[in-house]
Amino acid sequence: MRLLSSLWKISRTPLLTNLSGNASHGIWRSTGAISLGRYGYGTQPEEPRPISRYPIPYKKDLPYDIVELMEEVEKKGGFLPNVFRVMSHRPNEFRAFFTYYEVLMNKESGNVSKADKELIIVATSANNKCPYCVTAHSALHRIYSKKKTLADQVVVNPELADLSPRDRAMLEFALAVAKPENITEEHFSKLEKHGFDREDAWDIAMVTAFFAMANRIAHLTDMRPNEEFYSLGRFPRERSEESK
């Protein structure tokens, strides 16, 4: 499996945890009655918590191709997104998941850009109330689009977000797929007015559908976002001493 290189063009933030999952993978605290699960989303350190309710395999117990991919992603981006650790619980499903991810997200043709895809994922994941995917892909949208607040606006209320007519048509179609609505010729006609053809509609729908599945996996596993995602794309990258 080739490296998902274009995904991880992100800052060289030091990795906070090790692959074995023995260290703390983000610090959270219980929020009591308002929390729907065991853990909430407080920002003050109180108790370490796992990144998944399923076991995270030790690196030495994983197949070589999975370890190789993880190490390349970590080296490229400066940290390993928790989805890689969580999905490694099922190696065959890990391979299938990231192979399809690669096909969808790194497709070179069509009118749906990488920034577009990340915004679709943000809207889909917000609709599905998935903290991991909202946090991770908001960060990637900020990086690809250079827009620091648009993903946040879409998470809060896509109807009031500062979207262009093109982006609004794209997200309206994606959310129709996510909810799910009956997709009619009117949906396609609205897209066509903004330069999206039938193949683009397929791409929008496939990204939406794949991440609707990913959202459910994240809910099942109680997957936690990496702390690094919260600040990615919000501040200028610090220049290294070598580049100064």
pLDDT tens digits, 184-237: 999 999 999 999 999 999 999 999 999 999 999 999 999 999 999 999 988 776
Asked if residue 242 belongs to a domain, the reply is no
**How much is the mean pLDDT over the chain?**
84
Establish if 48 belongs to a structural domain.
Answer: yes
Domain, as residue range, for 171: 114-221
Residue 34 maps to a domain: yes
Residue keyed to tokens 């827009």 = 147
pLDDT of residue 238: 58
pTM above the 0.75 mark?
yes
Residues 71 and 155 in one domain: no
Q: What pLDDT does residue 37 have?
A: 45
- pLDDT value of position 23: 35
**47: which DSSP letter?**
E
Residues 121 and 76 in one domain: no
Domain check: are 75 and 162 in the same one? no
Task: Give residue for tokens 């977000």.
Answer: 161
Tell me the pLDDT tens digit for each residue of 10-58.
433 333 333 433 333 332 223 333 334 445 555 555 557 799 999 999 9
Does some domain include residue 167? yes
Give me the long-range contacts of 88-96 (CB less than 8 A, separation at least 24).
88/56, 88/57, 88/62, 89/52, 89/54, 89/55, 89/56, 89/57, 89/221, 91/62, 91/63, 91/66, 94/66, 95/1, 95/65, 95/66
Quote the pLDDT of residue 103. 96
Which DSSP string do the residues of 95-135 spell out, in sequence order? HHHHHHHHHHHT--SSS--HHHHHHHHHHHHHHTT-HHHHH
Q: Does 10 or 165 have the greater pLDDT score?
A: 165
CATH number for the domain harbouring residue 25: 1.20.5.810
How many domains, the chain? 2
Residue 162 falls within a domain, yes or no? yes
Domain match, 98 and 193 both: no
Same domain, 122 and 90: no
Q: DSSP 3-state assignment of 27?
A: strand
Q: Identify whether residues 55 and 121 lie together within a single domain.
A: no
Find where tokens 């600040």 sit.
Answer: 231
